[in-house]
A and B are shown apart, each in its own frame.
Chain A
Amino acid sequence: MAFNLFKYSSPASFYPLAGKMAPLFYVLAATLAIVGLYISFFVAPTDATQGEAYRIIFIHVPAAWMSMFIYIVMAIWAGLGLILNTRLSSMMAQALAPTGAMFTVVALITGAFWGKPTWGTWWEWDARMTSELILLFLYIGYMSLTAAIDDVRRADKAGAILAMVGGINVPIIYFSVKWWNTLHQGASVSLTRSPSMAKTMLLGMLIMAIAAWMYSIAVTLSRVRLLMLEREKSSAWVQEVLEKKS
């Protein structure tokens, strides 16, 4: 195969680099998660109004943050892949999607578990919960579209358009849902209404968020390595990698 096919970006040199970086981020993620969980469950004080049940927000809030953050990052990578025609950026977008969807599901489930003792219902048509659900639909749409297209180049580009259109729509959807919500229910239950959030609570939440971030990087790097092997299995560098392994 002609070498000029790889002129845009070089998976051949990124593959070993990602292989070295991924374990580092896994270790960071695990360490931070242990510290963060310790602070969340043993150091942070019991909430005056919500009791012990509030502690689920140490998972819920970081997951919700990551779910939105990853969508933005994914749309940016996909857009770069579309505009600059760089294969690696498109692969990064593809590799990020499942992690983003996973955090969205975690945010929804933990939200429900928090809602039951706090509001007395599993589901509240609150603006944030609803937007989170719609975000999940957007992730599912992106993954189904890229999976349905056999031609990799078309899948990357079509996925990029969808991710960017979704990205533009997310704020519109969020504000329309919020507006809808205030009209239908008056003042809705605020998720962040804790009179004085103790410093340790905030610290725990931040550490957990960074842990989730590190985990996302690690798992994305591992996934992008697999994608590179799969997509370029006929190229010389993949053959070399496979020979070394066997």
Chain B
Amino acid sequence: MGNVLLSVIRRDLLLAFRRRADVLTTLFFFVIVVSLFPLGVGPEMKTLRLIAPGVVWVAALLASMLSLQRLFAADYQDGTLEQMLLAPHPLGVIVLGKIVAHWMVSGLPLALMAPLLGLQFDLPPEALGILFIALLLGTPILSFIGAIGAALTLGLRGGGVLLSLLVLPLYIPALIFGAGAVEAYIAGVNPEGHLSLLAALLIFSGLATPWVTALALRIAME
């Protein structure tokens, strides 16, 4: 079972490497959206510091929307998904592998890039660290929950817009705890509570969503 998990992750990472441009598009989208906010709000550092955690998090949600559409689409179109459903392994494990690989190429780069973008908003160094940890814990939650939406909207016309309609409301707890951790720190409160809740959410979604996604995929393929 572990072998299947690893070979799915390896396969998806190899495919992502061959299609590097897609990965970079999502990352640049994230950078551009975050960089637009100061232009819209004004350059006053006090305001920017205040909105930075929320802006970075909302941009991360939107960027994850963009990349989620690709989670199953290619495998669906070329018939690989059928083969995965017929593999002699639990589908939930295969799905878990795909989600992990997806996070490594679409969520992890956002978390790594975020501290750099935080500098544009004049965040203090410790706050940058908390922003990074919060995104490290939070972006896999986005991939886990988003996978359900990607499976439900597989092959539908207007699937991308529909996907955001289904998934964005479900992201709210991650957004609240994730952005809240940084805000709490800036306000002088210990962010540990936020981060613990985020970690709890991560464990819960990691255990439950691959199986729900597997069920949704079987329904979509009928």
Contact = CB atoms under 8 A, between A and B. Distances in A.
A contacts B directly (C-beta below 8 A): yes
Interface of A: 134, 137-138, 140-141, 144-145, 148-149, 151, 153-154, 157-158, 161-162, 165-166, 169, 172-173, 176-177, 179-180, 183
Interface in B38-55: none
A165 B157 contact: no
A182 B220 CA distance: 41
A158 B219 contact: yes
Contact of B219 (A144, A154, A165, A172): A154
Contact of B162 (A138, A148, A165, A177): A148
Nearest to A135: B169
B158 A173 contact: no
A172 B153 CA distance: 24
A161 B216 contact: yes
Contacts of A144: 162, 165-166
Interface string B202-222: 000000000010011001101
Nearest to A179: B176
Interface in B91-108: none
20 contacts: A137-B165, A137-B168, A138-B169, A141-B169, A144-B166, A145-B152, A145-B166, A148-B156, A148-B162, A153-B222, A158-B216, A158-B219, A158-B220, A162-B152, A166-B169, A166-B170, A169-B173, A172-B201, A176-B177, A179-B176
Interface of B: 148, 152-153, 156-159, 162, 165-166, 168-170, 172-173, 176-177, 180, 184, 189, 197, 201, 212, 215-216, 219-220, 222
Contact of A161 (B152, B162, B165, B180): B152
Nearest to B173: A176
B166 A176 contact: no
B148 to A, nearest CB: 6
Contacts of A157: 219
Contacts of A166: 169-170
A141 B215 CA distance: 19
A158 B162 contact: no
Nearest to B219: A157
A144 B157 CA distance: 12
Contacts of A154: 219-220, 222
A149 B158 CA distance: 11
A183 B176 CA distance: 11
Contacts of A180: 176, 180
B20 to A, nearest CB: 32
A183 B177 CA distance: 11
Most buried by A among B157, B170, B189, B197: B170
